[in-house]
């Protein structure tokens, strides 16, 4: 199923429908994303453009593995904000990213429960 949370068809195809591998990747992501979100939040609070760019880029790459276009776009927007040191919408964008990541987690859990 293709939607804006994650593209299940692309994900299944990429993993050759190996749900065990998907479970392993999802478990790694569950461990890795909270510290990355914290780094993004800290970078915004400190108005540290390079740190925001780096941490958002890292999270963008991690969530891209799940073909999650909305989360990738949200992380990409923060990455660009860090690049140009524009924090005018960073708080809103950070909240959007957190919501997108939560939705990805829910979608992955549902997919793995099938």
In a domain, 48, yes or no: yes
- Give tens-digit pLDDT for 60-104: 999 999 999 999 999 999 999 999 999 999 999 999 999 999 999
User: For the whole prediction, is pTM greater than 0.85?
Assistant: yes
Q: How far, in Å, are 2, 62, 90 from residue 66 at the CA level?
A: 12, 8, 24
- The H or E element spanning position 100 is helix 90-113
Asked if the structure places residue 24 within a domain, the reply is: yes
The domain total for the chain is: 1
Question: Tens digit of pLDDT for each residue in 13-58?
Answer: 999 999 999 999 999 999 999 999 999 999 999 999 999 999 999 9
The answer to whether 55 and 39 have CB atoms below 8 angstroms apart is yes
How far lies 11's CA from each of 71, 73, 83, in Å? 15, 17, 29
Is 107 a domain residue? yes
Token readout for 62 is 């991690």
Domain residues for 98? Answer: 8-113
Q: What pLDDT, on a 0 to 100 scale, did the predictor assign at position 1?
A: 46
CATH code, domain with 65: 1.20.120.160
49 contacts: CB under 8 Å, gap ≥ 6: 43, 81, 82, 83, 84, 85
pLDDT, position 69: 95
């Amino acid at each position: 199923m293709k939607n804006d949370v994650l593209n299940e068809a692309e994900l299944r195809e990429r993993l050759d429908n190996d749900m065990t591998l998907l479970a392993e990747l999802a478990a790694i992501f569950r461990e890795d994303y909270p510290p990355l979100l914290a780094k993004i939040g800290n970078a915004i609070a400190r108005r540290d453009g390079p740190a925001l760019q780096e941490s958002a880029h890292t999270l963008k790459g991690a969530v891209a593995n799940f073909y999650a276009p909305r989360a990738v776009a949200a992380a990409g927007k923060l990455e660009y904000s860090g690049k140009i040191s524009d924090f005018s919408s960073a708080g809103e964008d950070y909240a959007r990213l957190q919501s997108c990541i939560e939705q990805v987690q829910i979608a992955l859990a549902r997919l793995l429960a099938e």
